Structure 1
Amino acid sequence: MSILILSDEAQASIHSGLQASQTQEQVDDLIRHNPAVSALLYSAKKIIHQEKYVQIKGLPILNELGWQSFVGYFGEYYGAIERTDIKTDCNYTGCSLNPLVLHNDDAVDLTHQPKYGFIQVTQTDALGIVANGIVLVRELKRKLQFEDPQLLRKLLSHPIPMLSYGINYDDKLKNEIITNEPIIYKSETGEYCVRFDQERNAYFYQMQGIEQSPDEALMIYEFLRHANQIKKKLFLSEGDILIHDNQCTLHDREGCSIKFNLDGTTYTRSIAVSFARYI
């Protein structure tokens, strides 16, 4: 497990610097030229390339300027910041009380799927730290290569349908998108990658009014069973950022809680999520 931590002195320096910065240029200058942050980002970029994920501790809660500068170090920042907490009246999976199934983000985006995902916990769960899980596709491929090569061949060749209205829940266009691609595929660089969102797969069959074939349902069940067996658990405290290679990993999280205050307001786990594409 790769964890990078800013010292107390470095945390104080970056926190005061961000508070004093009013423009994007000032934030860029702070993040790129602060020796501690510069060294941390350099290390994070090397680790994410090799290990496919890294956890960073000690950064303050990022605002829009901070996100643009931070994410821009890793690739093309395109203005997407999703902020969500936990709700009982939830119209998409990210704010659900229930555990999230292993998936990768924007799986229906065949042309511009983000390369890197960034998750920052802005408020922890009332009952403690909720675990996030991550699975490296290269490790899953190797596991299946020896334990279930027939399943691996199916995952590489059998397409599954997914349906979404818009790329993500914040998409303003809400155009219907239907994809039909294998769950695991090999990229142009030879890396094993993944494209999977069980909710969007189930949504396809719900909206089309047809039943999923038993063979496809079993393939997905076995895929998730094997993936969960090698899943790594990460524990993100408030302010921690998880950076993951969105195309070469799957991620999930445990179930959450909602605390109700005397005045009727709620206290829940909250996160901010952003993305970077290849430059």
Structure 2
Amino acid sequence: MSRLLQVGVADRSGDDFLASQRIVWASLPLSLGVAASEPAQLVAVDGRQRDWLTVATETASSGVLGILVVHPRPGPAAAAVHELAARARDNGLPVVVETVWAAHPAVAQLADSTRARLDDVALADSVAIVAKDDPRSPASVLLDQLALLRAVLGPIDEVTFSASGASGHTVNARRGASAVALSAVRTSVSPAGARLAIYTASGEAHLVVPEGGTAAPARASVVDDQGESVLPSWYESASRASWRRLVEAVTSQQALADLDFLADDLDRIASLT
């Protein structure tokens, strides 16, 4: 790309958030430049802040070309997020939502393979392994799991059982005719990350996504009557892939549904908690 786009973080962002984004920007092509004297055109919003929706709304009204919401936490009402999504869509403003696992580039790769080869899903089983000192709330972890499931299979339709405690949670749900199981455990023993297994009458698919923040590859494979296919390793962090998505959406004037999807998942979280 020949066009130089200026990048920055939203007002009131912390120094740690700016530092984390600078690391990602440094790994991206020269089509991006760090805004100094000029206003930023692509802006990152720290979703860990309690008022991230307010910050994102203010940023959307500041004349930017694109917004990246990084690791949004539960809290805002789904209706308010839908409202921002509609405003952004009307103004041709792409907004990318980066979540811990779903934003990994290998996830879309597995989703494509699953749709093409496994169309009769009977069970989807997701397990999140969370470090004991991870600051995310149980609701935040579940929100990240819902985003991962949505990215591969789509949203759940109904919840049939849920339980949570200090060490994790369990959610049983359905998506159409498919059973869905979501669970999480906090531990200091196993490496943090998320696993997703999909079972059908004709095969199965497996995905292991490492915790965000590194370029460690996810492991993805599909098994059907033709045998097992291990998908190519993709050495790229979820953060870098999210910035690439935003640049592509801005340069191609592509509409994105990330905020609407997030709002729907927030609505599901609110019904559970």
Please report the TM-score for the alignment, with normalisation by the length of structure 2: 0.28
| Structure possessing the higher radius of gyration over alpha carbons | 1
Please report the TM-score for the alignment, with normalisation by the length of structure 1: 0.28
